[in-house]
Amino acid sequence: MRIESAVTSVSWIPSEAIGGIMRAPFDLGPMHYDDPPADQIDDVQALARSGSVRFINHQRAWIEVENASIVGHGQSGRGWMGRTKLGFGSRMILYPTIAMPDLRSEPASSGQSVRFVQTTGGRPAIPLPRKLNRPPFVQIMPPIVWTTLALTIQADGSARHEVLGASPFPRHWIYDASGKLVSKVAVTDFGSWSGDIFGERTPWGSHDSPAFVTEVETALERELSQQIMRGGAKPQFRKLASGETLVEQGQAGAELFLLLDGVLSVDVDGQAIAEVGPGAILGERALLEGGLRTATLRAVTPCRVAVATAGQVSEEALAELAKGHRREET
């Protein structure tokens, strides 16, 4: 009996991922941010051809099982590099990108499971002049983007995936074998990527970058995040360093928070009860339950947060959101 499974990473550039002077080519043209990928991917090749994402790592593998033991295995995944869009308005030119060779380690088989590991990625073909954080201190060639995915398939038919590493930029979303969005690499760091990722500091050299992965937000949070970011009133933005507190339990507050990047710990009575990643909306219970914060929100990693007012989201939506956020009761 053959058992197959897959895991896919889709990488794209959100508008909040770039800061400082490097925003200028994106905000003014000719470079462009990406729209968020869909929550469900049914055709990886079609998405790769569309040019709407930066790159895709599609890890697909199979095992052959006889009498409850694995007797064969193989893999057929690959990477796709998207094309770089440059231009103004409707006049766009698609530039090719340079794919790096796909890396696959020898599958590790135990007789009851096989673990497959695949790294794919590449770089834009256009130059990216920038300062570096170490010699030679200036670089013209753009940095490499990549993800390293592991897929373990069990003889009983179950499978699990891991994100072993990823470039600090751009945003990486993870999809399961059915094509459903299930998790995200939580931290995007353009500065580290542009200043440190060259030479040996890639999987094609001797170094991979660890990936901090969090569960995907709810469908309601995704809907409300679009409302907050693209509605009438523009939100304010805050940056938090690791260990910094966004709000304290018991503190008065009337703002709603959308976590754009990073990981926040949700602490109740001094105990961490959850960690949330990009796309999470927090703070709604204070707006609904007397104006006091019901938890402390502390940055596990550097974070970027959009701060919205209560008027930007309906009370009905806030109440629905709060039903799933009573983490201290679970």
| Helix locations, the chain, DSSP H | 24-27, 44-50, 190-196, 219-230, 284-288, 315-323
Distance (Å) of CA 191 to CA 5, 87, 159, 205, 264: 35, 24, 35, 20, 21
- Which of 101-110, 132-141, 174-183, 206-215 has the lowest average pLDDT? 132-141
- The token pair at 2 is 């053959």
pLDDT of 327 > 60? The answer is: no
| Per-residue exposure over 132-141, b if at least 16 CB sit within 10 Å of its own CB, e if not | beeeeeebee
- The token pair at 87 is 């231009």
Report residue 291's pLDDT band, with 50, 70 and 90 as the boundaries.
confident
Cα distance between the two ends of the chain = 40
Q: What is the largest CA-CA distance in the chain?
A: 62
The Cα–Cα gap between 266 and 272 comes to: 6
| Per-residue exposure over 72-83, b if at least 16 CB sit within 10 Å of its own CB, e if not | ebebebbbbbbb
| Dihedral (CA of 177, 180, 184, 189) sign | positive
Contacts by 132-136, CB closer than 8 A, 24 or more apart: 132/195, 132/196, 132/198, 133/195, 133/196, 134/196
Under 8 Å CB-to-CB from 261, ≥6 apart: which residues? 16, 17, 186, 187, 188, 278, 302, 303, 304
Which residue's structure tokens are 């402390």?
Answer: 296
pLDDT of residue 195: 85
270-286 mean pLDDT: 94
Distance (Å) of CA 206 to CA 88, 199, 201, 238, 274: 39, 9, 6, 35, 34
Report residue 328's pLDDT band, with 50, 70 and 90 as the boundaries.
very low
Q: Which residue has the higher pLDDT, 275 or 135?
A: 275
Cα–chain-centroid distance for residue 161? 15
pLDDT of residue 96: 76
Percent of the chain with pLDDT over 90: 61
- The token pair at 260 is 């754009």
Percent of the chain with pLDDT over 70: 92
| Helix locations, 97-233, DSSP H | 190-196, 219-230
Residue type, 162: E
Give the residue among 151, 176, 198, 194 at the shortest CA–CA distance from 44.
176
- Model confidence, pTM: 0.89
- The token pair at 49 is 């051809």
pLDDT of residue 198: 80
Report residue 88's pLDDT band, with 50, 70 and 90 as the boundaries.
low
Decide if 264 contacts 293 (C-beta within 8 A): no
| Dihedral (CA of 291, 295, 297, 298) sign | positive
Write the pLDDT tens digit of every residue in 147-166: 999 999 999 999 999 999 99
Q: Which domains does the chain have, with CATH numbers?
A: 2-215 (no CATH), 219-329 (2.60.120.10)
The Cα–Cα gap between 148 and 167 comes to: 9
